[in-house]
């Protein structure tokens, strides 16, 4: 049941998130009003992030229910990566929410139409949003959950047919949803620089953002997993946090930074820690001794306890030199029968 339901859950959450993206202002056709959004909710931005969080369970359940170590490792990578970069993705849009003064996506688009596209004052937020979006959709160079050179195919290794197709559809629908959300939050939505074309402008912008996704896929190599997590927590998250907390003054009808030098100082502190040379301690490497090559007959290496016992018996039976105390040696000699010199010699030869 879980094996079958995992791809269905991934595809459902991806399609449901696209339902709150506005693609037009709405039209009146033959007396009926047709809205420019499928589900006009006042908290559309929160709903998109909530559905993207639920989509993670599809990947985790699919990898766990496959009973394959490659699928399980891929699902664990997916969980860690998406949770890490979702924090930066959320912080990247906080500046847009503050400037738009609403969580409704149509209201944010109208605010941009009245003032300016938020891509200009929120350039840092746009860059962070796009990088985190690439990681959220598991696209190169952040496609570690599907690393074919390490994990065969990641969390969907054991899937085929339409179940595999649902996973792929969910991935590409997530990419289209993130691109549409970027158009809505930063590039004015369905409004263009001239000629009110409505949905046509939205489609043109959407295709340009998707082109950048595909361009990056064909250009950049895949990162290592430690580089991926380090970049997400040590670079992207501090930059997104500073960008979100740097809006304090009201200027020209927009919430802009009160002092531009504050942003420069904040980024200076961040990048100073980022590019600081790490302090690593080199542990001595243990090298196993090289054993001599076998030449001829094997030699038996007796244990220390066995050699000590042999010496003790020789010292008791034959009077040969040993490490026993003289008094104890006399007591042991009294208990053991005496052997001649020839017998002691033969006993020592057998023991060696």
pLDDT tens-digit map of 142-185 = 877 776 666 666 777 788 888 888 888 888 898 999 999 999 99
Residues 147 and 66 in one domain: yes
Residues 264 and 342 in one domain: no
Give pLDDT tens digits for 197-252.
888 999 999 999 999 988 888 788 888 878 888 888 888 888 888 888 775 433 33
Residues 212 and 111 in one domain: yes
**Contacts of 67-71 spanning 24+ positions with Cβ under 8 A:** 67/158, 68/157, 68/158, 70/151, 70/152, 70/153, 70/154, 70/157, 71/154, 71/155, 71/156, 71/157, 71/158
C-alpha to C-alpha distance for 256 and 262, rounded to whole angstroms = 12
Q: Which two tokens stand for residue 13?
A: 């959450």
Q: How much is the pTM?
A: 0.67
Ranking 12-21, 104-113, 194-203, 256-265 by mean pLDDT, the lowest is 256-265
Residues 59 and 191 in one domain: yes
pLDDT at res. 101: 86
- Domain final position from 274, 290, 325: 274
176: in domain: yes
Residues 270 and 320 in one domain: no
Residues 249 and 333 in one domain: no
Residues 244 and 334 in one domain: no
Instruction: Give residue 327's domain range.
Output: 304-351
Residues 248 and 342 in one domain: no
Residues 89 and 192 in one domain: yes
Residues 144 and 262 in one domain: yes
Tally the domains of the chain.
2
């Amino acid at each position: 049941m879980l094996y079958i339901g995992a791809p269905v859950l991934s595809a459902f959450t991806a399609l449901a998130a696209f339902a709150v993206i506005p693609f037009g202002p709405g039209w009146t056709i033959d007396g009926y009003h047709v809205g420019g959004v499928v589900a006009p909710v006042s908290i559309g931005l929160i709903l998109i992030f909530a559905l993207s969080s639920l989509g993670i369970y599809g990947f985790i359940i699919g990898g766990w229910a496959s009973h394959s170590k490659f699928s399980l490792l891929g699902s664990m990578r997916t969980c860690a990566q998406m949770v890490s970069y979702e924090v930066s993705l959320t912080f990247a849009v906080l500046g847009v929410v503050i400037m738009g003064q609403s969580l409704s996506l149509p209201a944010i688009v109208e605010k941009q139409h009245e003032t300016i596209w938020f891509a200009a004052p929120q350039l840092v937020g746009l860059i962070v949003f796009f990088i985190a979006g690439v990681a959220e959709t598991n696209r190169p160079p952040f496609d570690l959950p599907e690393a074919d050179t390490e994990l065969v195919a990641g969390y969907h290794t054991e899937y085929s047919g339409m179940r595999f197709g649902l996973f792929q559809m969910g991935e590409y629908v997530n990419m289209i949803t993130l691109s549409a959300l970027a158009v809505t939050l930063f590039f004015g939505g369905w409004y263009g620089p001239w000629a009110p074309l409505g949905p046509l402008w939205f489609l043109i912008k959407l295709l340009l953002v998707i082109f950048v996704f595909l361009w990056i896929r064909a250009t950049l190599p895949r990162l290592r997993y430690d580089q991926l997590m380090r970049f997400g927590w040590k670079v992207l998250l501090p930059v997104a946090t500073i960008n979100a907390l740097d809006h304090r003054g009201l200027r020209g009808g927009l919430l802009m930074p009160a002092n531009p030098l504050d942003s420069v100082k904040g980024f200076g502190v961040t990048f100073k820690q980022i590019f600081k040379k790490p302090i690593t301690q080199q542990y001595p490497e243990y090298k196993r001794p090289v054993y001599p090559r076998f030449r001829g007959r094997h030699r038996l290496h007796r244990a220390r306890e066995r050699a000590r016992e042999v010496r003790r018996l020789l010292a008791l039976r034959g009077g040969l030199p040993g490490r026993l105390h003289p008094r104890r040696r006399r007591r042991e000699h009294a208990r053991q029968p005496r052997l001649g010199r020839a017998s002691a010699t033969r006993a020592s030869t057998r023991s060696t």
